[in-house]
Structure 1
Amino acid sequence: MALDLPEWTMKGELILNCNCTVFCPCVVSLGKHPPTEGYCQAWVGVRVDEGHYDGEDLSGLNIGLIMDIPGNMGRGNWKAAAYIDERASDKAYDGLVRIFSGKARGTTGLFGVMVSEFLGAERSPVSYVTEGKTRHLVVGKKINGSITPVTGKNPDAEIVVTNTEYWMGADITVAQADKGRVRAYGRVWDFDGRSAEICQIDWKGPR
């Protein structure tokens, strides 16, 4: 029951780069439309600006993820792995693993339904740095990615898909990968120039 689960919250920013050739159709179709290549492969970075799990502070920590989805996102059968900031305390590490495996329920609870194989979680140096409008994620030698918002008619304003029901957040900034390299769990991906997203997150556990 939800009442038996520890309380948790997480606010910050999420970036994602996938193998779609143009902006990911999953954002507006909510996983009903297939990815542009028929399957989805992605790396994800999360910067926690403030948050806690069962009273343990998560603020300032970073997380990297890889996701491998064989078809429409809404049909499940995902494979996923998590890289937890090596600075995390033991309790914070355990909490973040539960959050990103879906076991903590709440906003990320769909992972527990959609992920058929959680490949694993491990501590790693996870760097999430913003330079200008570009976000950089480096997870050891496993993930090396950089994404930048796509320029619109007004170069000073980001292109944002707003008011969606996407699980990550309602407003998604359209971006493109300057670099998107993954070398992990037998996967060798290069998604330079492919679809990317930026999302301000406000996640929480079940109430």
Structure 2
Amino acid sequence: MADSLPEWAIKGELILNCNCTVFCPCVISLGDHPPTEGYCMGWAGIRIDQGHYDGEDLSGLNVGLLLEIPGKMARGNWKAAAYIDERASDKAYNGLVKIFTGQARGTTGLFRILVSEFLGATRAPIEYQTEGKTRRLMVGKAIKGEVAPVPGHGGKDIVVTNTQYWMGPDVTVAKASQGRVRAFGRVWDFDGRSAEICQIDWHGPK
């Protein structure tokens, strides 16, 4: 099967903010521990530094995600939506939709299994900014977020390393100073809640 699927890869950075009151337990439990509030609502932003899908360059594009999970992450029944950078070519747009719905398999293939309702994909102006250690994401009028690492000893970042988390092995513990979603009938405000920063190196099936 892998040979018949287009080859793809993405390297860059991902930020995520959810409604957990303390650092998301999914990172260490690999989705086997319930979110701190019993359910998960969150948004994510992906900055693609280098990437391609079936020969089409994805470098420099951004993606926004909306995620809703009713309990333990590993049990599935997720709802999800994707926002694709309005600068993407038609081929890049279609490729990113396939990647973020799991159709392209590989690292994000788990979305095919865990997402029971895909709310939709749409083009949007997406800004992913870095100022010092602070990351900001703006997805049209749908998502407005700002996250920064939680300072550890000596002011250094707190990093959970060598995990088997699907996003990447090293996850920086962060907190959102702003986490606003106004999309698909959802009105969320997660200021002060859990956030993550992760360097990603994703690819299709090998």
- TM-score class normalised by the smaller sequence: over 0.9
Counterparts of 1:172 and 1:90 in 2: how far apart (Å)?
A: 32
CA distance in 1, matches of 2:192, 2:153: 20
Q: Deviations for 1:73-94, whole angstroms, at most 9, x for unmatched residues?
A: 0000000000000000000000
For residues 161-202 of structure 1, the C-alpha deviation after alignment (integer angstroms, 9 at most, x for no partner) is 000000000000000001000000001000000000000000
Cα distance in structure 2, aligned partners of 1:123 and 1:154: 42
Give % identity: 75
* 1:45-60 → structure 2 map (5 Å cutoff): 45-60=45-60
Q: Which amino acid aligns with 2:151?
A: T
Q: Which residue of 1 aligns with 2:139?
A: 139
**Structure 2 residues without counterparts, runs of 5 or longer:** none
Runs of 4+ in 1 over 4 A off after TM superposition: none
Q: Which runs of 5+ in 1 are unaligned?
A: none
Q: Superposition pairs for residues 1-207 of structure 1, below 5 Å?
A: 1-155=1-155, 157-207=156-206
Aligned residue pair count: 206
Q: After TM superposition, give the deviation of residue 153 of structure 1 in Å.
A: 1.5
TM normalised by structure 1 equals 0.99
SS of 2:92's partner is: helix
Q: How far apart, in 1, do the equivalents of 2:7 and 2:163 lie?
A: 26
RMSD (Å) for aligned C-alpha atoms? 0.4
Whole-angstrom CA distance in 1 between matches of 2:76 and 2:2: 23
